[in-house]
Structure 1
Amino acid sequence: MATPLSNDRYSRVAIALHWAIALMILSLIVFGFLMTQEWMPQRFTIYQWHKSFGITVLILSLFRLIWRLGHKPPPLSADMKKWELSAAKVTHVGFYVLMIGVPLLGWAMVSASRLPIENKLFFLIPLPDMPGVPSSDAMTDRLKLLHEIGAKLILFLFVLHVGGALKHHFVAKDGTLARMIPALRRK
């Protein structure tokens, strides 16, 4: 069993942003699957929800990055191996790059589309086209491919992240997960 961490935990803001973004990303993955299914009724509505959640993830991720730069996270377990520390760092950096990059690619993709569809966030707020993105089928196809690759990378990192968190909780028993889930805090 690993040496338990101190009672340091993430701030309430960091925890709220973590879980809000995580739930939205899970929703985006489900929406992304459903909106591409021919049999799915209300595909247009699902596309609009996907865009709304994507832009929200972009905004929250930018805020989270700014928050993270100004608020040092609690230290990782001293018992972690060098490769685990490297994996944690690469995973977190990868998440930030993808949580910002994938929504930007999606926004650029709908901006490049020649389809005359008005994009409104949550069916209320008009989303303008991204400045400087040329409208063409070829550009739309390239951006779509990059957006899909980014989404698959997010899913891969998500599985890796959850697996690591569960490993820390059930195998290492080092209190790492309790720092992000207040209900698990040790007495």
Structure 2
Amino acid sequence: MTLRNTRERWGAVSQAFHWLIVLLILVLAIAGLVMDDLPRTPKYFWVYTAHKSLGITVLALMLARLGWRLYAGAPAPVAGTPGWQAAIASLTHWLLYAVALAMPLSGWLYDSASGLRPFRYFGQFAVPKLVAPSEWLADAAREAHGLLFWVLVALVAAHAGAAFYHHLFQRDDTLLRMLPARGARARSGQEP
């Protein structure tokens, strides 16, 4: 497998970014959904700080992923894909990038505007504040963070649903192009 994307499939770097970010966002989602229900014990503050640190990690990975995408390009649509489906897929990809960048930024903005002391990225160094304390801005950023989460859930559901639709019903390589090559089945009709 090549590191760069080809016209037929996503390369190893794009695949690594994709699956690592998916995993981290899943962990962030679970933590974010249960955080408010945790009692305010040291465990709560550990989860809260880990959530923030992982969010900053996703932001950095998304910036790197976006840079890689601009450098390495993207595979061409699978042969036979109608133009309207290719356009929707491209729009969905760019919306996923935008929301996956906006989510951690809104969380960082919320943390900054809340007036809390700077958190330490995985306990190593203080993360700088983006803005001065502002109750209005903290409330707005918190609301945006929550709304963006549900937008991200909808986009991920559409993205994954389309990939599985192509795999199960169209029987094309759309899904397989984001999996390691050894997981790809031959299109001669034989299973791996």
Superposition TM-score, scaled by structure 1 size: 0.89
Q: CA 1:40/1:77 → structure 2, altered by over 3 Å: closer, same or farther? A: farther
185 and 118 in structure 1: CA distance in 2 versus 1, 3 angstrom threshold: same
Superposition pairs of residues 18-29 of structure 1, within 5 angstroms? 18-29=18-29
Matched with 1:112 is 113
Q: 1:157-176 maps to which residues of 2 (within 5 A)?
A: 157-176=155-174
Confirm whether residue 71 of structure 1 aligns to residue 69 of structure 2: no
| 1:77-96, Cα deviation, whole Å (9 max, x unpaired) | 23222332222112111111
Q: Amino acid of the residue matched to residue 66 of structure 1?
A: G
Map of 1:26-105 to 2, 5 A cutoff?
26-39=26-39, 42-105=43-106
Match of 1:105, SS state, is helix
In the alignment, does 2:139 pair up with 1:127? no
1:107 counterpart letter in structure 2: W
Q: CA RMSD in A?
A: 1.8
Distance between the aligned counterparts of 1:125 and 1:11, measured in 2?
33
Shift in Å at residue 184 of structure 1?
Answer: 2.5
* Residue matched to 1:153: 151
* Stretch deviating more after TM superposition (52-61 or 133-142): 133-142
Q: Aligned residue for 1:144? A: 142
Contact 1:34 1:40 in 2 (8 A): no
Displacement after TM superposition at 1:102 (Å): 1.3
- The answer on whether the counterparts of 1:35 and 1:44 sit within 8 Å (CA) in structure 2 is no
Q: Which amino acid aligns with 2:183?
A: L
2:7–2:74 CA contact under 8 A, matched in 1: no
Identity of aligned residues (%): 35
| Alignment check: 8 A CA contact 1:112 1:134 kept | yes
Q: Provide the TM-score with structure 2 as the length reference.
A: 0.86
The higher-RCO structure (CA 8 Å, 6+ apart) is 1
Q: Which runs of 5+ in 2 are unaligned?
A: 1-5, 187-192
